[in-house]
Chain A
């Protein structure tokens, strides 16, 4: 039992399936916890009622009536937060094997040709389960994750998942969420440079618009109009370049952010800027643009940045002080943003890096918003995720301390109203937690209904 393990209540799966049917199922109540709903005031000694995978109601225990049919969980001493959302990740994504032949001789090298143009590549269709990732994600407090393809200029389309071990179909919150675009080059063909990539992006947007105009005219009038040649690439692009669906721009260095801003402005794109570890350096522009921002907590300076080019000492300082201050500086400029683990060298650095960001001046409440309501907003699921509010999806975490406190551990995770018990390491120094009235971790998975206290 000393090993940190997660016990997943496997036989809750039937209940899970039931809850997805949107029929009225049993209610669960979490009582005696401190509720941080993110939207709305903190509730001491609160009660949250869940039903059908949704949050039915919440409030102080004195005011909320626990339904008669509810199974009650005593969460004394615990803190309830909405489950965290990672707004960009490649977890669970498995890049499909390329079908193209290796180039016989590209500059003397065997190089695989990839034109980087796969806007139709769906993350959802290329998901792969991973127990360890689920475990790691729960441990960090995540219940939802935006899974996006990463390779290529037009990398593909992302899906927002609730995190659970399997049955991806049941976990989809939104699909597709966005088209993901990177300022990288193709391999073996045009474009071989970032300026080429920019030209390609511009031309592709223009072409998609021309194509769409031609097509709609043809569909409307048919006769007397030359039939447009079917273009599978532009077909996939039209929703994003013409119809205003979101494009997430993956931005490494400062100039990438400006590139994205330029495209967003030039072509009136519904854009979101991701990565952006140097975002504070263009705070003015970002603020003026109002473009949503998803900021990485990976603090490695980009290759082209002055923080990577002016010696080892500078690089060290950048990693430890300068880049971690990015979120804090944005906050001080009045720019709101979501945080993402994307760009972290090691996933295990997440907690440490969030702590660095908070130490650099990012208020904890803002950090919480940046992992909950802000990403929900930018992904377009604010009405169902990102806070503990009636009617929203019951993605909740119960933690042992205030979130991002040093000893904070995840005690319980609710995904779509399903509880997952987590093992909590006893505190080394004090014994006071011993008195806490908390359901002990059981070897035997226990049905929520039976946990009457």
Chain B
């Protein structure tokens, strides 16, 4: 398939290593003396991490630093895996109300052929801001009224899009209707908009299967004519074959149940996004095995009866039900706030450790990249954050951010403007 794997990055970075040092010896970086929070595994006080080129080579209490390694002293600091934002539009939107800077939404209802990663603007001022707050990788989610396009995984470092892309296609974005605004309405009734989407999806799956059948038949028997090339159907094939999950933005309890039915019936894979009312159908979600990603928690519950903290306690309920979940910012300009969504859930009863998992290892598991990122473990990409405190706290300062083993620039547009205008006061 069209999935670009880490190999590209590996090759690139190897190449750069070769070019810069003129020899084939690996580059070692060592972070020592800090308290390591690997997320998977126990906290290691005064631990050491050895980075070999792009990957984590070793993590532990008494790990010797290889000869010639660049050493960072993290004494008194905390070392975390970089955070992953499970849904955002970093690089796809600069100023939301200036239409010419918005690239995450395509016109039309059915756009499986568009890929978020093909529109990244690496210069976006929001990227360094998110990175400087400890976010090292994000899932880009295009969205439209219905099938919005393909989500991709990028790391927040690189001069050109290719250097940033980790996985070109992770999932296919589908949007169910949003919850009605205002505070009234019948909660349980299936809405006509949802019904329409379910019917449309059914038709699309049927058409895609037929397309595949004809393709296969003509391949096996050249006498049979192949179907006319259809870019949309081509892009739906991985979905019907269960290779590419649907990333379903769905909010209401009734819609979640309908989506579960659909996924079961069509025998496809899925991830839920948003899931405002997941707490009402925790049992059904658990049985379906579908993981979910919370949208921004900075929203109000639609129904008064649900209580003011419905969105805040949602993650705790999901955790107690044993459902795999992650957090997201659903933003560009506020993507940096990702850790605070997780902390908000912790304020309303979610275990702090679980909150941290929701921005590190859980998203890696949900999107099938747990072999690449999400924790500080040997063999994973060296996406590492050194902080002076709890990663999810407002008061914490992020001191260093490594992405794929490279220390990145954590200065931002904020710093640039402040520096510029400070001169006015001299």
Contact = CB atoms under 8 A, between A and B. Distances in A.
The reply, when asked whether chain A contacts chain B directly with Cβ atoms under 8 A, is yes
Interface in B327-377: none
Given A311-B304, A312-B186, 4 more contacts: A308-B184, A311-B305, A312-B184, A315-B184
B303 interface: yes
B195 interface: no
Contacts of B304: 309-311, 314
A230 B90 CA distance: 63
Interface of B: 183-184, 186-187, 303-305
15 contacts: A308-B184, A309-B183, A309-B304, A310-B304, A311-B183, A311-B303, A311-B304, A311-B305, A312-B184, A312-B186, A312-B187, A312-B305, A313-B305, A314-B304, A315-B184
Most buried by A among B303, B304, B305: B304
Interface in A289-318: 308-315
A312 B184 CA distance: 7
Interface string A50-76: 000000000000000000000000000
A315 B183 CA distance: 12
A310 B307 CA distance: 10
A301 B399 CA distance: 56
Contacts, number: 15
Interface in A313-330: 313-315
Contacts of B184: 308, 312, 315
A311 B187 CA distance: 10
B62 to A, nearest CB: 60
A309 B185 CA distance: 11
Tell me if B's interface is mostly helix, strand, loop or mixed: loop
Interface of A: 308-315
B193 to A, nearest CB: 20
Contacts of B187: 312
Nearest to B306: A311
Contacts of A315: 184
A151 B294 CA distance: 47
B60 to A, nearest CB: 55
Tell me if A's interface is mostly helix, strand, loop or mixed: helix
A56 to B, nearest CB: 56
A309 B305 CA distance: 10
A151 B304 CA distance: 33
A313 B304 CA distance: 10
Contacts of A312: 184, 186-187, 305
A235 to B, nearest CB: 42
The 6 closest A-B pairs by CB, nearest first: A311-B304, A311-B305, A310-B304, A309-B183, A311-B303, A309-B304
A308 B184 CA distance: 8
Contacts of B186: 312
B183 to A, nearest CB: 6
A308 B304 CA distance: 11
B184 to A, nearest CB: 7
Contacts of A308: 184
A311 B304 CA distance: 5
A231 B183 CA distance: 45
Contacts of B303: 311
A314 B186 CA distance: 14
Nearest to B182: A309
A314 B304 CA distance: 10
Contacts of A309: 183, 304
Contacts of A311: 183, 303-305
Nearest to B186: A312
A310 B303 CA distance: 8
B196 to A, nearest CB: 25
A445 B389 CA distance: 96
Nearest to B187: A312
B283 to A, nearest CB: 23
A148 to B, nearest CB: 30
A312 B183 CA distance: 9
A312 to B, nearest CB: 7
Contacts of A313: 305
A414 B100 CA distance: 74
A310 B187 CA distance: 14
A17 B305 CA distance: 62
A308 B303 CA distance: 12
A308 to B, nearest CB: 7
Nearest to B303: A311
Nearest to A310: B304
A213 B187 CA distance: 59
Contacts of B305: 311-313
A312 B304 CA distance: 9
A308 B185 CA distance: 11
A354 B266 CA distance: 56
A317 to B, nearest CB: 13
B305 to A, nearest CB: 4
A309 B303 CA distance: 9
B310 to A, nearest CB: 12
A315 B303 CA distance: 13
Nearest to A314: B304
A234 to B, nearest CB: 40
Nearest to B185: A312
B211 to A, nearest CB: 41
A312 B303 CA distance: 9
Contacts of B183: 309, 311
B419 to A, nearest CB: 43
A401 B419 CA distance: 88
A425 B304 CA distance: 47
B181 to A, nearest CB: 13
A310 B304 CA distance: 5
A48 B48 CA distance: 108
A48 B354 CA distance: 86
A315 B187 CA distance: 14
A315 B186 CA distance: 12
A308 B138 CA distance: 41
Nearest to B305: A311
A310 B184 CA distance: 9
B277 to A, nearest CB: 15
B191 to A, nearest CB: 16
A318 to B, nearest CB: 13
A385 B305 CA distance: 49
A314 B187 CA distance: 15
A313 B186 CA distance: 11
A246 B304 CA distance: 41
A315 to B, nearest CB: 8
B126 to A, nearest CB: 31
A362 to B, nearest CB: 29
B340 to A, nearest CB: 29
B65 to A, nearest CB: 62
A310 B301 CA distance: 12
Contacts of A314: 304
A311 B305 CA distance: 6
B255 to A, nearest CB: 19
A410 B305 CA distance: 45
A208 B276 CA distance: 54
A126 to B, nearest CB: 35
Nearest to A308: B184
A302 to B, nearest CB: 13
A311 B303 CA distance: 7
A313 B187 CA distance: 12
A309 B183 CA distance: 7
A311 B307 CA distance: 10
A314 B184 CA distance: 11
A319 B305 CA distance: 18
A354 B318 CA distance: 49
A313 B305 CA distance: 9
